[in-house]
Amino acid sequence: MNMVPSRFNTIVERKKVSSLKIGFFDSGLGGVTVLSEALRRLPNENFVYMADTLHVPYGTKTPQEVLGYVKASVQTILKEDIKALVIACNTATSIAVAELRKEYKFPIIGMEPAVKPAVEMNRANGKRVLVLATPLTLKQSGYAALVSRVDDHGSVDSLPLPELVQYCEQLNFDRTELFNYFNHKLSSFNLDVYGTVVLGCTHYPFYKEILRELLPSHIQLIDGSQGTVKRLKQVLSERNLLAAPLTTGQLQEGHVTFLCTSQDKAYVYKMERALEIYAEHEKIYL
């Protein structure tokens, strides 16, 4: 018998909702792009962000390996008294979110490539959609089912970019190197026929600025961060789990606790730095 749901109920009853955190999980730095959106849209909440630094990247692992890694990491996050969990990783979501929802009672929000809104954006102009994601995400049956469900005219193409996760993990933003990388990967595509590029891995939005310069001006970039956080806020509201404004004894709003499976203090600093870099980058486009 799983005791986690009853433990969760006890925590909620014992503590004020505002003192509970929202958990975020990713294999590495990528989920920071979703966390940044959550900090902007849920300013009264506090967060715990965990990266599975022992096993990043997930996109080149087997589904069985990823499922085990995610389950182990969630056990650690539970020690932080969370009221909801965001799997801020498309690959981990596709493999583990269904299992996690069977096991735990608290809200678990997953991510999927933003194929549906991308297809809808292009209905009027007849342009195609290009999805950039990890190899494992693109291989999953859930991705194929998603495309089949929303793509009536066969307008969605996919491109795996496994190396981009490593660029991000290194906080590598060298313009020449990245321009060469993207030009090589996109060289076989006629970009004039595309109207939208989907960033289907949470690491990829770190490179929106470079992609905007490289891609034709008519192409729009879209990722799943806004939709994920919108869903998170909706679920918290429905369950009366939204935090009230700051009260005595509560941590400062917008506080983030960073954790990683390797317990590497240097990586914790890297996560903090990545959040600063991304938040500053996003201010340009708000």
Q: Quickly state the pLDDT bin for 11 (edges 50, 70, 90).
A: very low
pLDDT at 15: 56
Residue 128 three-state SS: strand
Q: How far is Cα 56 from Cα 280, in angstroms, rounded to an integer? A: 25
pTM of the model: 0.89
Whether omega for the bond prior to residue 57 falls within 30 degrees of 0, making it cis, is yes
pLDDT at 282: 74
Q: Is the pLDDT of residue 248 over 80?
A: no
pLDDT at 2: 40
Task: Tell me the range of 138-142, 192-196, 240-244 where mean pLDDT is highest.
Answer: 192-196
**Owner of token pair 């003192």:** 19
Q: Quickly state the pLDDT bin for 13 (edges 50, 70, 90).
A: very low
Residue 246 three-state SS: coil
pLDDT at 244: 80
How many angstroms separate the Cα of 94 from the Cα of each of 29, 157, 229, 243?
18, 19, 17, 29
Q: Quickly state the pLDDT bin for 5 (edges 50, 70, 90).
A: very low
Would you give the end-to-end CA distance of the chain in angstroms?
Answer: 47
Catalytic position from the list 32, 48, 89, 259: 89
pLDDT digits (tens, 9 = 90+) for 129-183: 999 999 999 999 999 999 999 998 899 999 999 999 999 999 999 999 999 999 9
- Please indicate whether residue 25 or residue 125 has the higher confidence score (pLDDT): 25
Active-site residue, 168 included:
no
pLDDT digits (tens, 9 = 90+) for 196-213: 999 999 999 999 999 999
pLDDT at 278: 94
Q: Is the pLDDT of residue 253 over 70?
A: no
Active-site residue, 260 included:
no
Catalytic position from the list 70, 87, 201, 271: 201
pLDDT at 24: 98
pLDDT digits (tens, 9 = 90+) for 19-40: 799 999 999 999 999 999 999 9
Check residue 41 and report its DSSP letter.
Answer: H
Q: Quickly state the pLDDT bin for 124 (edges 50, 70, 90).
A: confident
Share of the chain above pLDDT 70, in %: 90
